[in-house]
Structure 1
């Protein structure tokens, strides 16, 4: 028996962020810089913005869960599969570095994804890679991700805790939480962090990934230090999306490779011993013209799916029906407050369905999946 809610349920998917995203005006409200600056009129520098409420005028029509997921499963080539195919530890490590760079996507100035509600999920597949995300905390916002490829014996576990702060002429978002990529056939686990997202308002508005990204494999002793940022103070000259770094042996500190390039163009790897240079990442080939996810099994889509929860709001934003968008966003938020009050009245503590969560002041947020493998999803990404 199909309920009335299921009959009217909207599963609405939008195109992924890609190399062309910045030139896309579909999501932008008029006079965006003026509107953005007006947001922070009464906000003190250094303020934590995790509880900051955004009008739909400043939302991209997708949840932060979908953005995290897309950076893993929306890609034109199988860079994740290449990590597993390397014959030597060095080959696999450089492939992991290349894949890590591919997870960066150009963000659009002046707009941000929806802050996911507690218990929201996003479940999508690309080929044999199945990805599941769940919002395991709302205040503060924390997202857990589990991705597996059972055929290639690859597993990924992320715990993302973004903390945006206002600094007068900029907003800096630090993404806390450990990220692990496991190549189970080789018994190797790669631990990594994420660079910061920096939004500058003045003198020129722009948004960019900045800071240090470290990748290490304890089993092989290989480690990488990558530095993302601008080639000038304000990003006015050169390419602001530079990446420089090195791969070295952590036991001897011997530098094996040097890395240099732009993550929105090409990145080269130089073998220090031989001087040979190789292009290890081409953004145009990997994240240009990405295909949108599609619903392959409408009945299998959970009510907690991002594309269901925010479907009507996303439609309103794309139609630039801002009055309807405000109503839809308010309805989602009010429903969450009501569920919170009901749990409090019953003395219940909410628990994630798909992850075991741990938190400590020393180690921060950590998560582990309940199931070994992520099942195929009702939402899939066509393979080029």
Structure 2
């Protein structure tokens, strides 16, 4: 369910805020503390560390997109490792991400597509999920479908079947007794989401996304597009100046919250420096 719940419906036509090196987002929800950091710029590598000390759960993600142009569309393959650790049970679940599919013609749209594999060495459980996009012309009943199965890898027996639409409801069917239940309801989950609020402004890091992009966000809210362009230009120019300064001094930038590594094959991985993510001055209910 974790994998499915992170694939929210993207919005076509909205320009992203290009993350700058060292930019962070630190937020708390109850006992869950989440920290993201932009740990590399070329390629754009993002790291995530989330912990819940009460439930003894930890998530560590490292991801970076690689765009592939297909004429009438762009498919951003999201590379990197994702790990969910259930520390009370001694279980670690590893998974990949679906790809972001941006259709330009004939009908513009954005979707998640591709295969996701989830595995746990300790339990021998594995899941195979497939995100299916709509047809080439943007019509048909296959929009935002997810299908899959949960397998006992030691026997290759299918234990459960997954079916549904990841932007509405997803069901799990027990192959042993035929019982079926809803395991994810996107509308219910998204309707409960609230905008984070600041409980201690002085404790907010200067690298926080909300601070770095505050002028741009305000200009967009005011629909002042000239100020928005200027605000974005200022952020990007500051990043270029910092890069030129590091190069002139021969200094290599080092992430503050993660250690990063790259294999000979070019794959990136990230490990958090702290065992537990601290409470954030930015909270959401």
- TM bucket (normalised to shorter chain) is over 0.9
Q: How does 1:209-224 map to 2 (within 5 A)?
A: 209-224=112-127
Quote how far apart the aligned CAs of 1:165 are.
2.8
Give the number of the structure whose residues are more often strand, by fraction: 2
Separation in 2, partners of 1:233, 1:140: 30
**TM-score if structure 2 supplies the norm length?**
0.97
1:252-331 alignment to 2 at 5 Å? 252-288=155-191, 290-331=193-234
Per-residue CA deviation, residues 60-86 of structure 1 (Å, 9 max, x unaligned), is xxxxxxxxxxxxxxxxxxxxxxxxxxx
Equivalent pair of 2:112/2:133 in contact (CA under 8 Å): no
Question: Does structure 1 retain, via aligned residues, the 8 Å contact 2:197–2:282?
Answer: yes
**Which structure 2 segments of 5+ residues have no match?**
none
Structure 1: distance between partners of 2:138 and 2:163: 17
Note the aligned Cα RMSD (angstroms). 1.2
Q: 2:81 aligns with which of 151, 164, 178?
A: 178
Please report how far the alpha carbon of residue 286 of structure 1 lies from its aligned counterpart in structure 2 after TM superposition. Answer: 0.9
Aligned positions, number: 285
CA spacing shift, 1:248–1:235, aligned 2, 3 Å: farther
1:348 aligns with 2:257: no
Match in the other structure for 2:13: 110
In the alignment, does 2:145 pair up with 1:245? no
Identify, as 1 or 2, the structure richer in helix.
Answer: 1
Q: Does structure 1 conserve the Cα–Cα contact (< 8 Å) formed by 2:63 and 2:79?
A: yes
Query: Of 351, 357, 360, which aligns to 2:260?
Result: 357
- Residue pair 2:162, 2:170 contacting (<8 A) in 1 also: yes
Q: Deviations over 1:40-74 (max 9, x none)?
A: xxxxxxxxxxxxxxxxxxxxxxxxxxxxxxxxxxx
Moved over 6 A (4+): none
The answer on 1:165 being equivalent to 2:68 is: yes
1:190 pairs with 2:98: no
The SS at the match of 1:113 is coil
Contact map agreement 1:191 1:215 (CA 8 A) in 2: yes
Higher relative contact order (CA 8 A, sep 6+): 1
Shift of 1:239: 4.3
1:231 CA displacement: 5.3
* Cα distance in 2, alignment partners of residues 125 and 339 from structure 1: 30
